[in-house]
Amino acid sequence: MVAAARAWEAASAVPDPEVPCVTVADLGILRSVEIEGGVAVARVTPTYSGCPATLAIELAIEAALRDAGFEARIERVLSPAWTTDWITPEGRDKLRAYGIAPPEGPAGKAALFSVPEVTCPRCGSRDTTRISEFGSTACKAQYQCRACAEPFDYFKCL
Ligand SMILES: [Zn+2]
């Protein structure tokens, strides 16, 4: 395998520290990994600038590249800004399987302030209600399903 592909494989397998069921590649946070002058350069776009997990994610990617035998450098790419649209279809399936409703509808600032209609990840019912603005992390809100009574996290559109 060529070095760049091997480096991508190592970096893309890093789980998100807040949602360990998905990888940084599933979330679209890891933009690219290239070999530049013998150094694996991983370009990372944080989910949002205030997300406390950003540094942990960067350190984990750097460590994964080092473990795979690379000299590593992380470059933070802020533009274009990450949106939940970047979460891959595979990533959305994994979130659902983990009991987290993936973001619905187009991303955007309005989504931050509106209360979206959310599908229950367990039973698929649309009859859900928001019980808390913030779930286990600031990136998520807590919902409850009226059909199956299960509380669940919703990954907010950003
Ligand atoms: Zn349900």
Q: What is the pLDDT of residues 94-144, one digit of tens each?
A: 999 989 998 876 655 555 555 567 899 999 999 999 988 876 666 788 899
Alpha-carbon distance of 74 to 6, in angstroms, equals 16
Alpha-carbon distance of 43 to 28, in angstroms, equals 11
Tokens describing residue 15: 């789980």
Question: Residue 152 Cα, ligand 1 centroid: separation in angstroms?
Answer: 9
Domain boundary among 76, 106, 128: 76
Question: Residue 98 Cα, ligand 1 centroid: separation in angstroms?
Answer: 14
Alpha-carbon distance of 139 to 100, in angstroms, equals 12
Q: What residues pack around ion ligand 1 (CB closer than 5 A)?
A: 120, 122-123, 125, 145, 147-148
Are both 53 and 16 inside the same structural domain? yes
Are both 61 and 13 inside the same structural domain? yes
Are both 96 and 125 inside the same structural domain? yes
Residue range of the domain that includes 22 = 3-76
Q: Is residue 40 part of a domain?
A: yes
Domain boundary among 76, 106, 131: 76
* Residue 137, φ and ψ in degrees, nearest 5: -140, 170
Question: Residue 17 Cα, ligand 1 centroid: separation in angstroms?
Answer: 26
Q: What angle in degrees, to the nearest 10, is found between the helix axes of 53-67 and 3-12?
A: 140
Nearest residue to 128 (alpha-carbon basis) of 146, 103, 141: 146
Q: Is the dihedral of CA 74, 9, 100, 119 positive or negative?
A: positive
Question: How many structural domains are present in the chain?
Answer: 2
Are both 19 and 71 inside the same structural domain? yes
Are both 50 and 9 inside the same structural domain? yes
Q: Is residue 82 part of a domain?
A: no
Beta-bridge mates of residue 33: 42
User: Taking a C-beta distance cutoff of 8 angstroms, is the pair 120, 128 a contact?
Assistant: yes
Q: What is the pLDDT of residues 47-76, one digit of tens each?
A: 866 667 788 899 999 999 999 999 999 999
Are both 94 and 134 inside the same structural domain? yes
Question: Residue 143 Cα, ligand 1 centroid: separation in angstroms?
Answer: 10
Domain boundary among 76, 95, 126: 76
Q: How confident is the model at residue 19 (pLDDT cuts 50, 70, 90)?
A: confident
